[in-house]
Amino acid sequence: MSQKQWIAGINAVSAAVEHDAANVREVLIEAGAKNPRLTEIETAARRADIDVRRVATQALDGVVGGLRHQGVVARYAAAKTWSENELEGLIEAAQGRALVLILDGVQDPHNLGACLRSAAAAGATAVIIPKDKAVQVNATVRKTSAGAADSVPVVPVTNLARSLRELQRLGVWIYGLAGEADASLYSLDLRGNVALALGGEADGLRRLTRETCDQLVKIPMPGGDAATGVESLNVSVAAGVTLFEAVRQRG
């Protein structure tokens, strides 16, 4: 069985059972484990008619390889993602207050998971990722996201620039994060239909993405200079900062 068909860890499995039970095929729990959260997962899974088995620790280790499983794993049918064709409906349902996170080429599954976690906590309308040259929602992403991968719509798209133009057609203003930009994130009005575009770990926003954005802005960093060696934030940290500035304004 391919490791990609399994998710591991208490938060990841609990969220999968709660939010996406139809795609959970079975849950394996460490035999003899006393953690009450494992008992809660078992009860919830059985209530959702998901097969549950108690197995030896070695069996869990073998299923997930090097992943830390905390005594529970679940076999997944497929990662839950949304179609490009559903994006318009998501924007319209937000009734003029859409908040979209665009991730242009994030490679690290832990970063994507952390971004999804921030997006879910901020009540984001959707997270858009490219189908190519970027990490997709896999087992590591689901575990890192602590369930957010199942609660915020993730929309993989074939052509990111085309999708950005479609957002603009729907009345969404797109701000791209770039360290060399002149305007500050905190000078923006983020209360309407807004999309926040962040680039990948190595190169930031790609050229075509930059050119398609309505405006480039930066997160002011008074401590970021050559002396400290701090010139940019990790993409997941930047996502949290930008999303929650929008949340603050909308509050």
Q: Check whether residue 48 and residue 91 sit in a common domain.
A: no
219 known ligand binder: yes
Q: Which of 49, 76, 103 delimits the end of a domain?
A: 76
224 known ligand binder: no
Q: Check whether residue 37 and residue 127 sit in a common domain.
A: no
Give the integer Cα–Cα distance in Å for 225 and 249.
28
Nearest to 27 by CA among 40, 17, 15, 18: 17
Q: Check whether residue 107 and residue 138 sit in a common domain.
A: yes
Q: Check whether residue 160 and residue 204 sit in a common domain.
A: yes
Q: What is the CATH number of the domain that holds 95?
A: 3.40.1280.10
Q: Check whether residue 114 and residue 139 sit in a common domain.
A: yes
SS3 155: strand
50 known ligand binder: no
Tell me the whole-structure pTM to 2 decimals: 0.77
Structure tokens at 80: 């839950």
Q: Check whether residue 118 and residue 143 sit in a common domain.
A: yes
SS3 percent helix, strand, coil of the chain, rounded to 5, is 40, 20, 35
Is the Cβ–Cβ distance between 143 and 110 less than 8 Å? no
Letter for the amino acid at 63?
V
Residues (pLDDT < 50) of the chain are 1-3, 225-231
For the chain, how long is the longest CA-to-CA vector? 59
Mean pLDDT, the chain, integer: 89
Q: Check whether residue 169 and residue 59 sit in a common domain.
A: no
Q: What is the CATH number of the domain that holds 33?
A: 3.30.1330.30
Q: Check whether residue 64 and residue 98 sit in a common domain.
A: no
Q: Check whether residue 70 and residue 91 sit in a common domain.
A: no
Cα 98 to Cα 1, 201, 242: the distances in Å are: 39, 26, 14
pLDDT digits (tens, 9 = 90+) for 78-126: 666 799 999 999 999 999 999 999 999 999 999 999 999 999 999 999 9
Q: What is the pLDDT of residue 202?
A: 80
- Supply the range of the domain harboring residue 206: 84-250
Q: Check whether residue 230 and residue 189 sit in a common domain.
A: yes
Q: Check whether residue 146 and residue 242 sit in a common domain.
A: yes
Nearest to 104 by CA among 73, 127, 77: 127
> Who's near 110: CB < 8 A, 6+ residues apart?
140, 141, 144, 236
Give the integer Cα–Cα distance in Å for 129 and 195.
13
Question: From the CB of residue 66, how many other CB atoms can be counted at a distance below 10 Å?
Answer: 6
Which H helix or E strand runs over 130? Answer: strand 126-130
Question: From the CB of residue 27, how many other CB atoms can be counted at a distance below 10 Å?
Answer: 25
Into how many domains does the chain fold? 2
Is the Cβ–Cβ distance between 98 and 54 less than 8 Å? no
Give the integer Cα–Cα distance in Å for 214 and 168.
9
